[in-house]
Amino acid sequence: MRITIHRGIDQIGGCITEIATNNAKILIDLGQNLPNGEGVVNDDFANSDAIEKITKDIDAIFYTHYHGDHLGLFHLVPNSITQYIGKVAKRVALCKHQRLSFIKDRKEQSEKEIDRIEAMQSFESQQIFKVGDIKIIPYFVSHSAYDAYMFLIEVNGKRILHTGDFREHGYLGKGLLPTIEKLILKQGKIDFLITEGTMLARLDERVRHENELKGEVVELMKQNKNVFVLCSSTDMERLATFHAANQKMNGRPFVCDDFQESVLEIFSDTAGKKSTLFDFEKPYIFRKDNEKLINWMKDKGFCMLVRATDKFDDYTEFLLPLLEKDKTILIYSMWKEYINPQCKHANKKYLDFIDKFSKVSKIHTSGHASAECLADVCNLVNPKTGIIPIHSENSADYQKLPINEELKDKIITETKKIDDTLIEIKRTTKRQQWV
Ligand SMILES: [Zn+2]
Ligand SMILES: [Zn+2]
């Protein structure tokens, strides 16, 4: 067996892992490098020639979730290769690309992308797949993208657990350790653990439970009648935090645009059927000519989901003069460094957008596992042979994990052969950093 980390060591994003035997080959994720603060993507793989080369002889591609740093290069994959993604994740990805098709001069590109997503096979948790002599089983994980999975991969008696991006401190995170213990380890020991380590470079960042955020949002909503929220439009658990908090404010409409409404509808129709927390009911769609809604918003206050786009520049320019300044707030609910002008990750669009508001509050918790959670997973899985760290700024940070020396010795960050398994770790020249 061969495990190849084409990309993902010492960088966050652009994840590409290959698992191969003599008669089958699969990829886990085919992600794009994350954009810099100006929105520019530097990615040597983001062209058909490079993807044709890397997917040569590949039988199937399995995606852990719909974030661009895991899914981003799907449209360049030749038609002959089957691509697999979670059933709900497929709907969200489709919805997003349908929206992108409205952007001027992007129609043709989007049509191609939509075709490729429509052709994708979808899966549900614990569905078993066989690609030649490789067996793949997805298991649901909580992440800032809904319908995310880790994969158990079995090859010639060896077992690999590829975690993808995950966390324990989300509403849907409590199943993480029981899933590993009761479903995955019950079937036998894991040989290799391939896992993320986003938070290892940010040990000072307090990772709070999503539920704790809800309490803080409620307090802010009590103090401020008019609440704008800048958060990821596909982060279901965070959206649920704001929706649930707003429900506690009697009679305030939950407002968004038509794109966000379509995404919420997918969540209500899937996760919302299992828990009312994710049932977003019928949000109100903002339009400048919807006088009835605007009067209601002015009268009772509101919670409105926004994005840093031209459309919302227009909406906020229209709305802000109608509202009392001291009762109006923007809650910024993404990584703090995007709006830190001193940071290399600073995002100009976000900075310009938050500038419009006299009151801004930051409420966020990471979509990624805390160091303690990573250590718990490493200790529980206790892999026989190796831990391969991906999706971290610096793989050497794994040595800081509170795990025993024996496990630390198993961390693999350079190419090596162990018995009949070749682990090839490729490093790209340009180090890409983010989150
Ligand atoms: Zn990621
Ligand atoms: Zn992600």
Nearest by Cα to 420 from 146, 148, 191, 190: 191
Instruction: Quote the CA–CA distance of 123 and 194 in Å, as a whole number.
Output: 21
Mean pLDDT of 254-272: 98
Q: Which of 38-42, 83-87, 113-117, 403-407 has the lowest mean pLDDT?
A: 38-42
C-alpha 71 – ligand 1 centre gap (Å): 9
Given a cut of 60, whether residue 435 has pLDDT beyond it is no
C-alpha 23 – ligand 2 centre gap (Å): 30
C-alpha 419 – ligand 2 centre gap (Å): 33
DSSP H helices, 179-290, are 210-223, 236-247, 258-269, 271-274
C-alpha 191 – ligand 2 centre gap (Å): 24
C-alpha 358 – ligand 1 centre gap (Å): 32
C-alpha 383 – ligand 2 centre gap (Å): 24
8-state DSSP, 248: T
C-alpha 391 – ligand 1 centre gap (Å): 7
Computed over its alpha carbons, how large is the radius of gyration of the chain? Answer: 22
194, 390 contact by CB (below 8 A):
yes
C-alpha 69 – ligand 1 centre gap (Å): 5
Given a cut of 80, whether residue 51 has pLDDT beyond it is yes
Number of H helices, E strands in the chain: 14, 20
Mean pLDDT of 317-334: 97
62, 86 contact by CB (below 8 A):
no
pLDDT, position 433 = 45
Given a cut of 90, whether residue 203 has pLDDT beyond it is no
pTM of the model: 0.96
Given a cut of 70, whether residue 287 has pLDDT beyond it is yes
Given a cut of 90, whether residue 30 has pLDDT beyond it is yes
Model pLDDT for residues 146-195, shown as the tens digit of each residue: 999 999 999 999 999 999 999 999 999 999 999 999 999 999 999 999 99
Given a cut of 80, whether residue 428 has pLDDT beyond it is no
pLDDT, position 384 = 97
Given a cut of 60, whether residue 432 has pLDDT beyond it is no
Q: Are strands 226-230 and 328-332 parallel, antiparallel or unpaired?
A: parallel
The ligand placed nearest to the CA atom of residue 14 is 1
Given a cut of 60, whether residue 124 has pLDDT beyond it is yes
Q: Which of 34-38, 163-167, 350-354, 381-385 has the lowest mean pLDDT?
A: 34-38
Model pLDDT for residues 64-82, shown as the tens digit of each residue: 999 999 999 999 999 999 9
C-alpha 266 – ligand 2 centre gap (Å): 19
Domains for the chain: give ranges and CATH numbers. 2-203+367-427 (3.60.15.10), 210-362 (3.40.50.10710)
Instruction: Quote the CA–CA distance of 180 and 168 in Å, as a whole number.
Output: 12
Given a cut of 70, whether residue 85 has pLDDT beyond it is yes
The ligand placed nearest to the CA atom of residue 16 is 1
CA dihedral for 24, 9, 140, 283, sign (positive or negative): negative
Given a cut of 60, whether residue 406 has pLDDT beyond it is yes
Instruction: Quote the CA–CA distance of 257 and 251 in Å, as a whole number.
Output: 19
C-alpha 179 – ligand 1 centre gap (Å): 21
What percent of the chain clears pLDDT 90, i.e. is strictly above it? 90
DSSP H helices, 248-381, are 258-269, 271-274, 291-300, 310-319, 348-354, 371-381
The ligand placed nearest to the CA atom of residue 34 is 1
Given a cut of 90, whether residue 107 has pLDDT beyond it is no
Mean pLDDT of 391-410: 93
Q: For 124-214, where are the E strands, in sequence order? A: 129-131, 134-141, 148-155, 158-162, 192-196
150, 163 contact by CB (below 8 A):
yes
Instruction: Quote the CA–CA distance of 142 and 139 in Å, as a whole number.
Output: 10
The amino acid present at 358, given as its one-letter code, is S
Instruction: Quote the CA–CA distance of 169 and 211 in Å, as a whole number.
Output: 9
C-alpha 149 – ligand 1 centre gap (Å): 12
The ligand placed nearest to the CA atom of residue 143 is 2
pLDDT, position 413 = 95
Mean pLDDT of 377-385: 97
